[in-house]
Amino acid sequence: MNRKKEGDVILFDHNHDGIDRRGFLKCMAWAGTGTLCVLHGGVLNSFSLSDPAQKTKHHRGDFSFVQISDSHMGFNKPANPDVVATLKAAITKINALPEPPAFMLHTGDISHLSKPQEFDNVSQILKSACTQDVFFVPGEHDVLEDNGRQYRERFARNTQGNGWYSFDKNGVHFIALVNVMNLKAGGLGNLGGEQLEWLGKDTKHLSRSTPIVVFAHIPLWSVYPDWGWGTDDSAQALSYLKPFGSVTVLNGHIHQTMQKVEGNITFHTAASTAFPQPQPGTAPSPGPMKVPAEQLRHLLGVTDVNYVRNHHALAVIDSSLE
């Protein structure tokens, strides 16, 4: 598919955990200069955006979709006084993709304070996206009032329980999970018994070669528990997914891109379109991170996901707003 040139492939897996930290950091440093970092099967490749030879050949059955996350409509503090402008910039970026996405996923924290006007503002802005097919999962900021009713009325019709559901697109099975409700004191994200039971049933009769994409707000792997960056009962969910040949887990919540590979499961978190947060342990808390104004859009972004038929893993491509 994409021929790797010497110097382009970064393979430093010193901790043997699938996280290519040095390569990732190196790649992210280039990201502001128009370089794409492509994660494919756990290996990071960097490509210049201007090199047409890198463009994937388009086969029938191939498709791509976009993930956006953490728009926090209503946030107006110094880390980003204008989250409307940066969300609009994200949509502009999506509309300019060489391969238009078939649909979009929003992995939650759509609003900042669960206010009806905040939800409606996001819906309004998304109307200018090249695809009107958008699938949502809630973040903890979306369910602050009334047990999440405002969120569910708008974005979770025809769903189960607190808003989980699944659907199929071009032979890929998508599973939307809710892990921001009924959180326990001192705990992390929570899926709950009812949702786990549903997940078991939902995946039981799928053929093991069906590619699966799971999306949920809080990471389903333990990114940094001290800051609540993990899900208490994700192990059982992952046990239902492990038998499958290709599983991609897409999350948000941490406002920075991060990835991990565990066997056939590739975990990936997206940047926010609103404000960045610090890397684990580098600040007293995971709150909004203020950066010089000219750097903000380098730390916000969208994620493009490409499915190539019969390829093992989906290609997950992050690009910053600038």
Partner 1 sequence: MKTHRSAVAVVLVMLAVLGMYGHSLASSAAAATGAQVNIDNFSFSPNMLTVKAGTAVTWTNRDDIPHTVFSDQNAFMSKTMDTNESFTLTLAKPGTYTYFCTIHPKMTGKIVVQ
Q: Residues in the site for partner 1, rule: CB under 8 A?
A: 77-79, 112-114, 140-141, 144-145, 183-188, 225-228, 284-288
CB of 86 to partner 1, least distance (A): 16
CB of 20 to partner 1, least distance (A): 28
Strand order in 258-262's β-sheet? Answer: 165-169, 172-176, 212-215, 247-251, 265-269, 258-262
Which residue lies nearer to partner 1 by CB, 141 or 173?
141
CB of 91 to partner 1, least distance (A): 25
Which residue lies nearer to partner 1 by CB, 72 or 297?
72
CB of 289 to partner 1, least distance (A): 10
Which residue lies nearer to partner 1 by CB, 101 or 230?
230
Q: Which two tokens stand for residue 228?
A: 């609540």
The helix (H) or strand (E) run that includes residue 204 is helix 193-204
CB of 1 to partner 1, least distance (A): 42
Could you give the angle at which helices 193-204 and 234-241 cross, rounded to 10 degrees?
0
d(CA 125, CA 257): 23
Which residue lies nearer to partner 1 by CB, 45 or 273?
273
Helices (DSSP H) in 231-288: which residue ranges? Answer: 234-241
3-state class of 5 per DSSP?
coil
Which residue lies nearer to partner 1 by CB, 216 or 313?
216
Q: Which two tokens stand for residue 234?
A: 């994700």
d(CA 86, CA 23): 27
- Contact between 211 and 307 under an 8 Å Cβ cutoff? The reply is yes
CB of 219 to partner 1, least distance (A): 14
CB of 237 to partner 1, least distance (A): 19
Which residue lies nearer to partner 1 by CB, 183 or 206?
183
Which residue lies nearer to partner 1 by CB, 43 or 144?
144
Q: Is 102 exposed, middle or buried (0-12, 13-18, 19+ CB in 10 A)?
A: middle
CB of 302 to partner 1, least distance (A): 23
Q: Which two tokens stand for residue 78?
A: 């110094």
Q: Which two tokens stand for residue 288?
A: 């909004």
Which residue lies nearer to partner 1 by CB, 36 or 181?
181
Residue 268 bridge partners (DSSP): 250, 259
How far from each other are the two terminal CA atoms of the chain, in whole angstroms? 27
Q: Which two tokens stand for residue 94?
A: 């999506």
Residue 247 bridge partners (DSSP): 212, 265
Between strands 63-68 and 301-307, the pairing is antiparallel
